[in-house]
Chains A and B, each alone.
Chain A
């Protein structure tokens, strides 16, 4: 069953077509990847899914519900969470605060009862804290609970950003280049981390990635984008042997 359906989506900026007639169906419970050379429109596609941009044409469906043109915060409430290409943590806040903030979207207390520390708000806050601690514990980040986010090593910051996305109770996780800037050993660690969270939290993961090793290893389906156009889709092997993909992308990558 498809959890996310991108239906004939076109995104134009002035005269530039960043994404052209894109069709993608992400299957529930899978790890799928979107690859393509720089400027292919991958992040634009992500921004259309998460509501940062409203597409020029076409629709996006999440769990069969049309979410086209809805604001990012509402889309996150529906269960799609994302990370960013250049890490966007709440840098000057603690690891714990970063996670707690991601819980705020499900809050029931209004600001008056929260401020006045009414019993039901206190209970909600306590549950929020317990839930966040459990999440940090599961992801082996609890030891960093009180650290300031920007003081963490790079790899941990990436991990925290994923943890923060998970804290929104997402079912679909969009990772924008999770391995960017990582060394090979960190990348391998990330690969098993992504696998683990998918199984543990019963997630669907859709990611943009440049590290071919990582993509080929963990993705069950790969979409290849070039100049805003989908040029291939399939398993790692299918994509690897596709003549258009080799021309557009992989050939160049292997030379490097």
Chain B
């Protein structure tokens, strides 16, 4: 067993196999050989959720900043893509009550450029918001960022010449292939992985572990917090941009603050401080929320209508799951660990991982 695990070649083989299987499934789905539009849409959504969740984990799980502004940053990215990629000739029809701002009405950008621009704008806003807000700690920071996300939504509802207000923007060009979503997800998460495993990532973790000690070790807290916060916002903006092209439409209510709770559930389930856990949880939660949809539909057992099953029950179940999770599985799937073959084999062979001693046990 052990010699097998330690064999680098077999690990490499398993990795390649995994990538091949993943690519094969994606190719089959993408060429419409298997699955239907619904399945593809859910998987694309999962990929987007993975980007946003990892970005949220970068801020919350790796840097230890309790930030709940993800929906706001997504909105910025989504609207940037919406405003700049809708074909010029379709604009007048969309902005039929209040005409679009004359400058914006003449600009059409390719999708990739609009996507990156959306990320950059989200990051810029994060820097501006972060400067005052990141001086706050824990719950205060959470409240401030939650408030920010609501402000963004309300501003977007009201700057009608730019965002078309509550009507939203329709006819956003959709992407013909799943590779756009999965490709951007792989690149984004890859970049965040590289960041987290760089010296800067270690500095983020130091801040998470102990701010006072981190500062005493020469880490400029403010600079690194703003950095993490705005990089997280950048990728949330990218995720938002992808969401716009997936749904082909954006409106302010898509970015109502409870959206952020989905990501919170994902990172808690996957493990605060685990990228692979977050990716797995993104798929589990996104697909799970779809499966839970039957709770929202009327259910009749033996001809008797169960009165509980009505629209909204899904969210009740969702909340209960969140509570159970926090009560009994605080470390989530992977805690701060990353998925590895050793972990998988240990789990499969029923071997318990070495249990960490409780905090402060040594004192």
* A interface residues (Cβ-Cβ under 8 A, vs B): 50, 52, 71-74, 76-77, 81-82, 84, 88-93, 97, 100-107, 109, 111, 114-117, 121, 124-125, 128, 148, 150-154, 157, 164-165, 168, 181
Residue interface mask B322-363, A partner, CB < 8 A = 1:
000000000000001000000000000000000011011111
B102: min CB distance to chain A, Å? 36
- Is there contact, CB below 8 Å, between B199 and A100? yes
Tell me the bound Cα distance from A151 to B218 in angstroms. 25
Tell me the bound Cα distance from A50 to B218 in angstroms. 11
- B194-235 contacts to A (CB < 8 Å): 194-195, 198-200, 202-203, 205-206, 209-210, 212-221, 227, 231
Q: Which of B203, B216, B356 contacts A50 (CB 8 A)?
A: B216
- Is there contact, CB below 8 Å, between A101 and B219? yes
B113 CB–A CB distance under 8 Å: no
Tell me the bound Cα distance from A116 to B359 in angstroms. 35
- Is there contact, CB below 8 Å, between A84 and B213? yes
From B219, B221, B227, residue with most partner A Cβ within 10 Å:
B219
Residues on the A chain within 8 Å of B200, using CB: 104, 111, 114-115
Knowing A116-B194, A150-B357, A151-B357 touch, does A107 contact B199 (C-beta < 8 A)? yes
Q: 7 closest pairs, A vs B, by CB?
A: A105-B218, A76-B218, A90-B209, A88-B213, A114-B198, A115-B195, A101-B206
Residue interface mask B171-191, A partner, CB < 8 A = 1:
000000000000000000001
A101: min CB distance to chain B, Å? 5
- Is there contact, CB below 8 Å, between A154 and B362? yes
Q: Which of B195, B227, B356 contacts A151 (CB 8 A)?
A: B356
Residues on the B chain within 8 Å of A91, using CB: 209-210, 359
- Is there contact, CB below 8 Å, between B213 and A100? no
B115: min CB distance to chain A, Å? 18
Knowing A73-B219, A90-B205, A148-B356 touch, does A101 contact B214 (C-beta < 8 A)? yes
Sampled A-B contacts (21; CB under 8 Å) = A72-B216, A74-B220, A84-B212, A91-B210, A92-B209, A97-B205, A100-B199, A101-B217, A104-B200, A105-B217, A106-B218, A109-B199, A111-B195, A111-B231, A114-B199, A151-B356, A151-B362, A154-B362, A154-B363, A157-B362, A164-B217
Tell me the bound Cα distance from A77 to B214 in angstroms. 12
Residues on the B chain within 8 Å of A124, using CB: 199
- Is there contact, CB below 8 Å, between B199 and A128? yes
The secondary structure that dominates the B interface is helix
Residues on the A chain within 8 Å of B206, using CB: 90, 93, 101, 104
Tell me the bound Cα distance from A52 to B202 in angstroms. 23
Tell me the bound Cα distance from A91 to B231 in angstroms. 25
By beta carbon, the residue of chain B nearest A161 is B213
Residues on the B chain within 8 Å of A50, using CB: 216
Residues on the A chain within 8 Å of B362, using CB: 150-154, 157
B252: min CB distance to chain A, Å? 32
Residues on the A chain within 8 Å of B361, using CB: 150
Knowing A93-B205, A104-B217 touch, does A115 contact B194 (C-beta < 8 A)? yes
Tell me the bound Cα distance from A50 to B216 in angstroms. 8
- Is there contact, CB below 8 Å, between B203 and A104? yes
Tell me the bound Cα distance from A226 to B356 in angstroms. 42
By beta carbon, the residue of chain B nearest A72 is B215
B267: min CB distance to chain A, Å? 17
Tell me the bound Cα distance from A166 to B353 in angstroms. 34
Residues on the A chain within 8 Å of B214, using CB: 90, 101
Tell me the bound Cα distance from A102 to B203 in angstroms. 9
Tell me the bound Cα distance from A111 to B227 in angstroms. 9
- Is there contact, CB below 8 Å, between B198 and A111? yes
Residues on the B chain within 8 Å of A114, using CB: 195, 198-200
Residues on the B chain within 8 Å of A104, using CB: 199-200, 202-203, 206, 217-219
